[in-house]
Structure 1
Amino acid sequence: MLGRRGLFTAGSAALVAAMTPMPARAAPAGDPFTLGVASGDPLPEGVVLWTRLAPRPFEPTGGLPRADYPVKWQVAEDEKFARVVKDGTATAAAAYGHSVHVDVHGLRPGRDYFYRFRTDRHVSPAGRTRTAPARTAKPERLRFAVASCQNYTDGWFTAHRHLAAEDLDVLFFLGDYIYEGAVSRHGGDRDDASLRLPDTFELATDTLDLYRMRYALYRTDPDLQAAHAAVPWALTWDDHEVEDNYAAAASRHDDVPAADFLVHRANAYRAYWENQPLRRPRQPAGPDMPLHRKLRFGDLADAYVLDTRQYRTDQACGDGILAGCRQREERGRTLLGPGQRAWLLNGLATSEVRWNLLAQQVMMAECRYGGEAGRLDMDKWDGYPGDRAAILATAARVPGTVVLTGDIHFNYAADLRTDFSRPETPPVAVELVGTSVTSGGDGLDAVPKLQQQQRYSPHLRFTNGQRGYVRCELTRDTLRADFRVLPHVTRPGAPITTRATFVSERARPGLVTA
Structure 2
Amino acid sequence: MPDQSSAHSTPTKANRRNFLMLSGAAAVASVVGGAVPAAAATETIGRFSSYPFALGVASGDPLADSVILWTRLAPEPLAIGSGMPQKKFPVHWQVADDEKFSRIVREGQTFALPEHNHSVHVDVQGLAPDRWYYYRFRCGSELSPVGRTRTLPAPGAHVEKFTISHASCQNWATGYFTPLEYMAEDDLDLAFHLGDYIYEGAITAAAPRNGAPITDEIRAQCKTLDQYRLRYSLYKTDKGLQAAHAAYPWAIVCDDHEVSNDYAGGANQWPSQLERRAAGYKAWWENIPTRLPAPVGPEMRIYRRFAVGDLVQFDMLDSRQYRIADNDPVVSRIGDVQEKWLLDGIKAYDTTWNFLAQGQQLGGVTTNSPTRNRIYKAYYDQNVSPIILSGDMHWTIAQDSLLEIPRADSPIVGSEFIVTSITSTGDGPGSQSTKDGWLKNPWVKYVDGYRGYIRSVITPQGVSSTQRDVQYITRPNAPIWDAQHFHIEAGKPGIQLA
Report if TM-score (shorter chain) is over 0.5: yes
> Kindly tell me: are residues 16 and 248 of structure 1, through their superposed partners in 2, closer, same or farther at Cα, counting changes over 3 Å?
farther
What 5-or-longer segments of structure 1 have no aligned partner? Answer: 1-13, 252-256, 317-327, 369-375, 377-381
SS at match of 1:479: strand
User: How far apart in 2 are the matches of 1:187 and 1:46?
Assistant: 43
CA contact (8 A) 2:362 2:371 kept: no
1:184–1:197: 8 Å Cα contact kept in structure 2? no
Q: Aligned equivalents of 2:165 and 2:159: distance in 1?
A: 18
**Contact 1:37–1:125 (Cα < 8 Å) also in 2:** yes
Partners of 2:183 and 2:16 in 1: CA distance: 26
Deviation at 1:82, TM superposition (A): 0.4
Report the CA distance between 1:136 and its aligned residue. 2.1
Q: Does 1:172 align with 2:192?
A: yes
- What is aligned with 1:46? 66
Aligned partner (choices 391, 402, 410) of residue 375 of structure 2: 391
Letter in 1 for 2:155: R
Tell me what 1:409 maps to.
394
Amino acid at match of 1:512: Q
Q: Are positions 1:272 and 2:284 aligned together?
A: yes
Judge conservation of contact 1:70–1:91 (CA < 8 Å) in 2.
yes
Q: How many angstroms does 1:453 deviate by?
A: 1.6
Post-superposition offset of 1:477 = 2.4
Tell me the SS of whatever aligns to 2:492: coil
Spell out structure 1 runs of 4+ moving beyond 6 A: 14-17
**Do the aligned partners of 1:152 and 1:218 also contact (CA within 8 Å) in 2?**
yes
Residue 379 of structure 1 corresponds to none
Greater alpha carbon shift after TM alignment, 342-351 vs 219-228: 342-351
1:227 is the counterpart of 2:228: no
Change (3 A) 1:33 1:16: farther
1:73-92 correspondence to structure 2 within 5 Å = 73-92=93-112
| Structure 2 counterpart of 1:242 | 259
Does the 8 Å CA contact 1:44/1:109 hold for their aligned counterparts? yes
TM-score (norm 1): 0.87
Once the 2 structures are TM-superposed, how far is the Cα of residue 422 of structure 1 from its aligned partner?
3.4
Q: Which residue of 1 aligns with 2:11?
A: none
C-alpha deviation, 1:366, in angstroms: 4.2
8 Å CA contact retained: 1:76, 1:84: yes
**Cα shift readout 1:26-61 (whole Å, capped 9, x = no counterpart):** 323321101000000010001000000000001111
How far apart are residue 451 of structure 1 and its match?
1.1
Matches within 5 A, 1:78-477: 78-184=98-204, 188=208, 190-191=209-210, 193=211, 195-248=212-265, 258-279=270-291, 281-313=292-324, 315=325, 328=327, 330-364=328-362, 366-368=364-366, 376=367, 385-396=369-380, 397-444=382-429, 447-455=432-440, 457-477=441-461
Distance 1:297 1:230 in 2: 19
Q: Which amino acid aligns with 1:411?
A: T
Q: Which moved more, 1:437-446 or 1:174-183?
A: 437-446
SS in 1 for 2:393: coil
Q: Deviations over 1:194-214 (max 9, x none)?
A: x32121122100100010110
Q: Aligned letter for 2:281?
A: Y
Aligned length: 464
Query: Which whole-Å CA distance do the structure 2 matches of 1:438 and 1:41 have between them?
Result: 25
* Corresponding letter in the other structure for 1:145: S
1: CA distance, partners of 2:437 / 2:43: 62
Given that 1:435 and 1:468 are in contact with CA atoms closer than 8 Å, whether structure 2 keeps it comes out as yes
TM-score of the aligned structures, taking structure 2 as reference length: 0.90
- Give the match for residue 21 of structure 2: 20
Q: Distance in 2 between matches of 1:442 and 1:164?
A: 21
Work out the CA distance in 1 between the residues paired with 2:432 and 2:293. 39
Question: What amino acid sits opposite 1:70 in the alignment?
Answer: P
Q: Relative to structure 2, which stretch is displaced further, 45-54 or 200-209?
A: 200-209
Post-superposition CA distance 1:479-513 (Å, at most 9, x none): 11100001000011112111011111121111011
- Identity of matched residues, %: 41
Distance 1:249 1:421, change over 3 A: closer
1:323 is matched with which residue? none
C-alpha spacing 1:57/1:123, structure 2 compared with 1 (3 Å): same
Deviation at 1:283, TM superposition (A): 1.7
Contact 1:49–1:104 under 8 Å retained in 2:
yes
Match of 1:8 in 2: none
> Aligned partner of 2:300: which letter?
M
- Helix, strand or coil for the counterpart of 1:282? coil
How do 1:480-499 and structure 2 match up within 5 A?
A: 480-499=464-483
Cα 1:352–1:411 shift into 2, 3 Å: same
Offset of residue 305 of structure 1 = 1.0
- Aligned with 1:290: secondary structure? coil
